[in-house]
Amino acid sequence: MATLAHPPDCDRRWFKRFGRRDAPTDITLLCFHHAGGSAAIYRQWSRMLPPSIEPVAVQLPGRADRFNEPAFDRMGPLVDELVEMLTPLLDRPFACYGVSMGSRVAWALTHALRARSMPMPTRLFLACDIAPRHHDGTWPWEGHADGLEGYLRGMGGTPPEVLAQPELLSALLPTLRADLTVLSTHDFHPKEPLDMPIRAFAGIDDLSAPPDQLSGWEAETTARFDLDVLRSGHFFDADAERRVTETIEHDLARDRGAEERR
């Protein structure tokens, strides 16, 4: 397929390949971070996944090495830019994993690819994000007694050293606000569900995205749906993350075996 020409640094800004692998891989796993987060949450995944799977972490603007770029505050422009930047990577099999906001971005991106008749992911892995059908128009950060900072502290995913330094915290809040605006303004209800398998991961102690509200992702596909409930909160600990990567490895290996038998 034809690819688009981009400045050499675009790929390095958007896509992080921690522990880049020299040997050929069977499939790319595009990984999308949570609101206020960065691609660094996937730094260890190249070690946790087998050589057959290449994790490529997407780095959205407004954070880490892209701190000086404006963060997106609407899903439409974000997905349009992602489609353009991803086009050169879509000439080989790929799957998507997203956590929290990253789940919603991966899902919206997949619908955008389908609308453009472009290559589609073989699977979606979605974590810690309630299904679209369960949204009632309200969000857990809206009306928080202590504002956005209180919400951030309550979620428990921000390093203590960041919370302890007012200047770091104040630098983080605008990007978090933009990310959450992406979600709160994305009122998308597709007419047709997707047709690839979806596996959702839920933390049993996640109050913002409890397991029963992730079960609704089943309605977003005509293919197989699985829900894994982990002993974790909204942010997965090391053991839960290990279970996630092991499950992803198992699913993609099973898909590859089924493809080889055809």
Give catalytic residue positions: 100
Return d(Cα 112, Cα 32) in angstroms, integer.
16
CA distances from 182 to 54, 73, 138, 140, 150 (A): 28, 5, 14, 14, 20
Number of residues assigned to the chain: 262
Return d(Cα 153, Cα 176) in angstroms, integer.
12
For residue 133, give the amino acid letter: R
Q: Distance between the two ends of the chain, CA-based, in angstroms?
A: 24
Helices 166-184/147-155 angle, 10° precision: 90
The encoded tokens of residue 31 equal 């990984």
